[in-house]
């Protein structure tokens, strides 16, 4: 399967699902938290996905790639801490907290795997057809190398 964007990565899909679940549960937070915890937890959870999109664009440069993954991991940790506050303030149940922080842990593990083996995600070289070859590890959602297809046709 071709990976055309960060949206094709399992870590992106899991982070997106987490962000949407947080959006739904945070609708029940008190109005006095609107510009505090509600806004912060929504921003940090969405930022994981947004930074993954930037990560995908930085695949030519290992240092930039890892740096942006580190940003993703930081936002994911911030989301986890915000969930602790939400539980301790009584805004979410113990069960909701366990479920959501479990998803944060899964996302964190996937991001950690990507940071530890960035070479399997980087654009390696152009193939014969002019499309960059991309390697993707099992933690990113694909088990073997795949080629990223580019939109449009090749100009001669």
pLDDT tens for the chain, 156 residues: list them: 567 889 999 999 999 999 999 999 999 999 999 889 999 999 999 999 999 999 998 899 999 999 999 999 999 999 999 999 999 999 999 999 999 999 999 999 999 999 999 998 898 765 545 555 555 444 444 433 333 333 333 333
Q: Do residues 6 and 53 make contact, with C-beta atoms less than 8 angstroms apart? A: yes
pLDDT of amino acid 131? 55
| CATH fourth-level superfamily of 6-118 | 23S rRNA-intervening sequence (1.20.1440.60)
Parse the chain into domains and list their residue ranges: 6-118
Element (H, E) at 52: helix 39-57
Q: Which residues pair with 147 in a beta bridge?
A: 133
pLDDT of amino acid 48? 97
pTM for the full predicted model: 0.78
pLDDT of amino acid 4? 80
pLDDT of amino acid 22? 98
3-state secondary structure of 20: helix
In the chain, the largest separation of any two C-alpha atoms, in whole Å, equals 63
pLDDT of amino acid 103? 97
DSSP 66-126: HHHHHHHHHHHHHHHHHHHHHHHTTSS-HHHHHHHHHHHHHHHHHHHHHHH-GGGTSEEEE
pLDDT of amino acid 120? 85
């Amino acid at each position: 399967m071709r990976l055309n964007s960060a949206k094709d990565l399992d870590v992106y899909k899991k982070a997106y699902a987490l962000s949407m679940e947080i959006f739904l549960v945070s609708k029940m937070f008190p109005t006095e938290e609107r510009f505090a915890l509600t806004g912060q937890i929504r921003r940090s959870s969405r930022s994981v996905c947004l930074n993954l999109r930037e990560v995908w664009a930085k695949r030519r440069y290992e240092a930039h790639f890892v740096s942006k993954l580190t940003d993703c991991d930081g936002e994911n940790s911030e989301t986890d801490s915000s969930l602790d506050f939400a539980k301790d303030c009584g805004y979410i149940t113990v069960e909701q907290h366990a479920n959501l922080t479990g998803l944060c842990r899964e996302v964190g593990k996937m991001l950690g795997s990507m940071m530890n083996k960035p070479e399997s995600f980087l654009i390696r070289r152009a193939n014969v057809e002019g499309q960059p070859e991309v390697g993707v590890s099992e933690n990113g959602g694909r088990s073997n190398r795949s080629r990223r297809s580019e939109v449009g046709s090749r100009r001669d």
